[in-house]
Amino acid sequence: MKGRGANTVQEAAELYAKSLISVRNQFAEQYYLSPFGLDLKSFLDRQQELDGDFVADISEKMRTVETGVQTLVAGVDADNTPHIYSIGGHDEFGQEQLVATCLDRRGFAAVGIGARQFETLFMSLGYDTTWKVMEAMLVMYSAKKQAETSPGVGRFTDMFIIDHDGFRLLSEDSGKVLEMYHRQFIASVEKKRRNTIEKMKGDTDRLLQVRNQANISWRQ
């Protein structure tokens, strides 16, 4: 990152976010200001002399301009501290947020189609940064397979490691081995599910016990 204006992962993420804001401003100028011979600076400088309704209308339209970009920036600083930042997406009001959000504490992130399915598995398993590499690798791959239920998410997966040694793309053979272990894991979970269901079938009296109607009426 050095020599490019960033010496840390955070600085790289923030520079990228600023570049996206610049791109979004250019889009807004091209779509809504250029037809009137204005750019962003002249629009701001001349707001006092421009018609108020015109300014309000253009301002509202410019707020709707989006880059549509969602990006993850991850890496390791010189002190070997890993970081994950997310850029893009929308806030609770539906506005695009081109800011670098640090996700170091939770230790995982996803963007794009299937992101919700991916992150849901991490959250449901209580993942945190104390998990070991093999534990994280299995849940990561399982989350990717779960995300494939979303239309548009492909079946092929590129995996890589970023650490103090740099960026290393894992081989296709690594992916095949991980797929094998994932299939074994899914099979064991399915076997356990079926065994549990069979036990439940023998315990229907307790499982389907109806609440005492008198108690229900009294509580109401």
What is the per-residue pLDDT for 130?
94
Q: Residue 169 pairs with which residues in a beta bridge?
A: 160
What is the per-residue pLDDT for 8?
95
What is the per-residue pLDDT for 1?
46
The position carrying tokens 């989350």 is 143
Q: How far apart are CA 102 and CA 11, in angstroms?
A: 11
Listed as own residue / partner, the contacts of 71-78 with beta carbons closer than 8 Å and 24 or more positions apart are 71/16, 71/111, 72/109, 72/110, 72/111, 73/9, 73/12, 73/13, 73/16, 73/100, 74/9, 74/162, 75/1, 75/9, 75/12, 75/162, 76/9, 76/162, 76/163, 76/164, 77/8, 77/9, 78/7, 78/8
For the chain, the domains span: 1-104, 113-220
- The model's pLDDT over 73-93, given as tens digits with 9 standing for 90+, comes to 999 999 999 999 999 988 888
The residue type at 192: K
What is the per-residue pLDDT for 42?
93
Q: How far apart are CA 202 and CA 195, in angstroms?
A: 11
What is the per-residue pLDDT for 188?
97
What is the per-residue pLDDT for 86?
96
Kindly report the backbone phi and psi dihedral angles of residue 45, in degrees, each rounded to the nearest multiple of 5, phi listed first: -70, -30
Please list, in sequence order, all residues whose beta carbon lies within 8 angstroms of the beta carbon of residue 79, skipping any fewer than 6 positions away.
Answer: none
What is the per-residue pLDDT for 166?
87
Helix (H, G, I), strand (E, B) or coil at 161: strand
Please list, in sequence order, all residues whose beta carbon lies within 8 angstroms of the beta carbon of residue 139, skipping any fewer than 6 positions away.
Answer: 121, 122, 125, 127, 131
What is the per-residue pLDDT for 3?
45
Q: Are strands 82-88 and 70-76 parallel, antiparallel or unpaired?
A: antiparallel
The position carrying tokens 């309704």 is 53
Q: How far apart are CA 42 and CA 21, in angstroms?
A: 18
Q: How far apart are CA 66 and CA 88, in angstroms?
A: 10
The position carrying tokens 């008198």 is 214
What is the per-residue pLDDT for 216?
54
Among 105, 93, 75, which residue's Cα sits nearest to residue 165?
Answer: 75
Low-confidence ranges of the chain (pLDDT < 70): 1-4, 213-220
Q: Which helix (H) or strand (E) holds 76?
A: strand 70-76
